[in-house]
Structure formats: structure tokens, C-alpha cells
Amino acid sequence: FMDIPETTHQVEENLSVMMPSSELGSELEEKLSNVNKTSLMIAYERSLEEQRENPLFSDPFAAALAGTAGVTFSEGMAANAAMFGFPEWPDFHRTWTGVRTAFIDQFLIKQTASNTSDSFQLLNLGAGMDSRTYRLECLKNSGTKVWEIDLPAVNEIKEEVLAKLNIEPLCEQHIIGIDLATDDMPEKLKEAGVDSNLPVHWLLEGIIMYLPLPRQHDLLKEIAEFSASGSTALINFAEVQFEGHRDKCMTAALLTPKFEENGWEVTIHRFGEPTLNFGRYPEDQEPTTMFSFAVCRKL
């Protein structure tokens, strides 16, 4: 199994070993690191849902956001399925992307439907090529504000593609360049107009596992302390069970008390469990902790 990263540089080395080389698309795509290019992979894998007879969601913009590296990285994941514990299931990650996307979409639909305030603040950390601001009708409200946070190089390629598509966001949108590994996130968010006195709804999809574990702890602490009552956090994390690696990654046992101590309630969902499979997980396969979500609500 890949070494669990202790530094961003180690993540880069791991991905370089896993992923075959490919021709790069635009000059902007050439600026992306291997970690950044995983956002193109997710866009490509989301685009595959449009081809299914009974899709879990619709993302008509995903194919355009996948660049040229998206399919290459997806094929790299398939070729390394055994490394992730799925030797007989090369489509495991494409399935996971579809399931996690639908899980998040449905969560946001429920949260917006139950929102009784004039305001709905959504903070999407490590947003990558996420197009929810353009495709989720539940966000189409004058009181909805979405902050999409990622590195400037990622934001640049996303904004270029969306500009060519000539589409408008369904709500107020702010694309913010923040390095979650080093920047003072709470201060940057306040500067960007996020009101910490009102509930905020955090989305962390495919981001914290690329940060060193100490920074993961700090980031979750910042979220737990920044948020007002009524806030939610939907956190995707990778809990690896392999000998010698468990102490290098975020786990439910580490994450849960960090929020509970600050007045939150937490539920954990594992890929393959009834709440996180949408009928797409092999019946003969045990649920995996490697692909997990924490659903957190501040009381």
C-alpha cells in the first residue's frame, strides 16, 4: 500500500508512482501538481454518471472540467485497485465518486430545504472542479452564498473552463485562493465576507487526506470553533487500517471528540454501509473505512 503522507511532497511522490504519464492539455493544466490533478479525475468520474441508465445525479459540466489528466488519473486508480483492497473491482473509485457525489448532493438538498434563515452560507474547502454552484437547484436562493476555496492554480483553470461554457452560478459565488496547508483560514474567510455569527455549512470532499496529519487536526479544530450554532460539516476522510499506517491518518476516533468537545454531534458513514452505497457496492464486500464521511451538526 502507498505510504500514508506526512507531507504534501510525499503525496506527490505516491501519485507519481501510481499514475501513468499523459499529455497535458492547456498551459493552465500544466501548472497543476499531481495532487491538484486529482480534482480533474473526480470531474471525469462524475461525467461518467451521465452515461448510466439510472444516474444518481446530473453534472453536465463535469466532462469539460476533467481536462486531459482526468481520465488518465482515473485509469491509474483502476490499475491500482488491489492497492486499495479491491483486486477484483477496478471500477471501485469511479463507483465511490458517484456515491460520494450523490451523498453530498442529497445532504445539501436536505439542509437547504430545512433552512429557516434568510441566509445559507456554504463553505466548500478544496472545491477543485466542483460545479454544484451551477447545477444544484437547491442553491438557487437570494440568501445563499457559496465560498469555493482552493489553490489559485486550481481556481484559475476552473474559472477559465466555466467562462468558456458561458454559464452563470445559481447563487452568490466567491472563488477564493487559500492554501489550506499554510494559510490562516479563519482570518481569510472573514476577509472574504463569511459571517461567523451565522450558521455555516462546511463541505470537505477529498481534501484533508492530502494534508499532513497535524494540519488535519488544526483544520478540524478551526472549523469546530469558528462555527455558530446550527452549523453543519460534511467531512470526507480516509481511515486506513493497515499496520503501521493507522497512526498517520485521520480516524473517526480522532475526529469525533474534536467536534463533540465543541458542542457538535457526529455520525460516521462508511463506503458500503446502507447509508453510503446507493446499491452500487458489491454485496460480498465488507464496507471499507478507507472511504468515510463524518456528518457533524453544531447544537
What Cα–Cα distance (Å) separates residue 118 from each residue in 67, 113, 198, 199?
Answer: 37, 12, 10, 11
- Parallel, antiparallel, or unpaired: how do β-strands 144-150 and 172-177 relate? parallel
Beta-carbon contacts of 270 under 8 Å, excluding residues fewer than 6 positions away, are 276, 287, 288, 289, 291, 292
Distance in angstroms (rounded) separating the CA atoms of residues 131 and 13: 28
- Give the closest residue to 238 by CA, choosing from 52, 64, 100, 80: 100
Label each residue of 106-145 as H, E or C: HHHHHHHHHCCCCCEEEEEECCCCCCHHHHCHHHCCCCEE
pLDDT at 28: 74
Helix, strand, or coil (residue 61): coil
pLDDT at 24: 38
pLDDT at 31: 85
CATH architecture for segment(s) 118-298 = 3-Layer(aba) Sandwich (3.40)
Distance in angstroms (rounded) separating the CA atoms of residues 289 and 246: 11
pLDDT digits (tens, 9 = 90+) for 174-195: 999 999 999 999 999 999 999 9
How long is the chain?
299
Distance in angstroms (rounded) separating the CA atoms of residues 80 and 207: 20
Mean pLDDT of the chain: 91
- Give the closest residue to 49 by CA, choosing from 115, 94, 4: 94
Q: Per the structure block, which three cell numbers stand in for 289?
A: 473505512
Beta-carbon contacts of 198 under 8 Å, excluding residues fewer than 6 positions away, are 117, 119, 121, 228
How many CB atoms are closer than 10 A to CB 145? 22
pLDDT at 26: 64
By the 8 A CB rule, do 276 and 99 touch?
yes
pLDDT at 290: 95
pTM, full prediction: 0.92
10-residue averages of pLDDT along the chain (299 residues): 42 45 58 92 97 96 94 95 94 98 98 95 98 97 96 94 94 97 95 97 96 96 97 96 78 97 98 98 96 98
Q: What is the dihedral of CA 56, 267, 206, 214, to 10 degrees?
A: 180
pLDDT at 188: 96
Which sequence spans correspond to the domains of the chain?
A: 118-298
pLDDT at 190: 95
By the 8 A CB rule, do 78 and 41 touch?
no
pLDDT at 283: 94
